[in-house]
Amino acid sequence: MAGIGGAVTTGRKARWTVLNVLVVAYALFPVLWIVSLSFKTKETLGDGNFIPRAWTFDNYAAIFSTTEFVRALVNSIGIALIATAVAVVFGTMAAYAIARLDFPGKRLLVGVSLLIAMFPQISLVSPLFEIERGLGLFDTWLGLILPYITFALPLAIYTLSAFFREIPWELEKAAKMDGATPGQAFRRVIAPLAAPGVFTTAILVFIFCWNDFLFAISLTSTESSRTVPVALSFFTGGSQFEDPTGSIAAAAVVITIPIILFVLFFQRRIVAGLTSGAVKG
């Protein structure tokens, strides 16, 4: 019995493993190809080999030697972090109110935020361009942070209110009875329990800001606020006749690193079932 059972599970395991490897390989192949490109020398760039025949770090050295890229990296990190922080803080408060309180205009608020999330961004680009030029926000960090927050907030509110609804109401009542002010109850009981939701939201919002190309290319014009996705598209190589493929590949690899770090850092905090044990049944 045990032998047969064991064989079955081993067989299943093997099949799953093969399937997983296939899916992961399919998804990661383009990424690996870019990585491979970024390590190739100019001469071997077009040889079609997956494993570079001649390895070089020149592409990386090149992009980091230009202020164009380094400055864009700083802009990207700064803008994405600020937008994420603001969206998550306001999103948390709004989601809490939506999940817990009954206030006039609640449905309207939810409806409007849904509307914003569905609004095609491309149709907002020209008006935003005009408005930001008028307000002097064009080509500034704030000029990008504001639209990012606008589009990230609905996302944050939706994700977070789902998490808040999972937290038993009674915990809050218990905190009140234990002598907590509403603020204390929120900070010391509700917020820690909503943490997985907050981190999940932070990751989603960060990725959204980090990857944005449309707003970044339309609302910036100089290095002072240009983000990496845009800077990449401006890469020209050392001289007019140089092929920038190697540099672009290297830059593409570099900009995935913060995302991976961000996800890894927060993922450890996304512990499933954090609320288990609070209430019975």
Partner 1 sequence: MAEIVLDSVTKQYPDGAVAVRDVDIEIADGEFIILVGPSGCGKSTTLNMIAGLEDITSGELRIGGERVNERAPKDRDIAMVFQSYALYPHMTVKENMAFPLRLAKVDDATVEKKVRDAAEILDLTQHLDRKPSNLSGGQRQRVAMGRAIVRSPKAFLMDEPLSNLDAKLRVQMRTSVSRLQKQLGTTTVYVTHDQTEAMTLGDRVVVMRGGAVQQIGAPQFLYDNPANLFVAGFIGSPAMNFVPAALEDGTLRSALGDVPLTDRVRGLLEGTEAPREVIMGLRPEHFEDARLVEDHVRSTGATFTNQVDVLESMGSDKFAYFSLSGEQATSAELAELAADAGSADVPGGGVSLVARISATSTAVVGEPAEIWFDADKVQLFDPNNGRNLTYRG
- Would you tell me which residues interact with partner 1 (CB under 8 A)? 168, 170-171, 173-181, 184, 188-189, 192-193, 273-281
Query: In terms of CB distance, is 127 or 281 closer to partner 1?
Result: 281
Q: How far is the CB of 270 from partner 1 (least distance, A)?
A: 14
Q: Report how far residue 171's alpha carbon sits from residue 231's, in angstroms, rounded to the nearest whole number.
A: 49
* Positive or negative torsion for Cα 20, 23, 25, 28: negative
Q: How far is the CB of 80 from partner 1 (least distance, A)?
A: 29
Asked if 268 and 278 count as a contact pair (C-beta separation under 8 A), the reply is no
Query: In terms of CB distance, is 3 or 183 closer to partner 1?
Result: 183
Q: Report how far residue 199's alpha carbon sits from residue 136's, in angstroms, rounded to the nearest whole number.
A: 33
Asked if 246 and 40 count as a contact pair (C-beta separation under 8 A), the reply is yes
Residue position matching structure tokens 């493929």? 245
Q: How far is the CB of 91 from partner 1 (least distance, A)?
A: 21
Query: In terms of CB distance, is 42 or 100 closer to partner 1?
Result: 100
Q: Report how far residue 161's alpha carbon sits from residue 194's, in angstroms, rounded to the nearest whole number.
A: 10
Query: In terms of CB distance, is 145 or 175 closer to partner 1?
Result: 175
Q: How far is the CB of 18 from partner 1 (least distance, A)?
A: 36
Q: How far is the CB of 160 from partner 1 (least distance, A)?
A: 17
Query: In terms of CB distance, is 91 or 196 closer to partner 1?
Result: 196
Q: How far is the CB of 269 from partner 1 (least distance, A)?
A: 12
Query: In terms of CB distance, is 47 or 178 closer to partner 1?
Result: 178
Q: How far is the CB of 200 from partner 1 (least distance, A)?
A: 17
Query: In terms of CB distance, is 178 or 242 closer to partner 1?
Result: 178
Residue of 250, 276, 110, 257 whose CA lies nearest to 193: 276
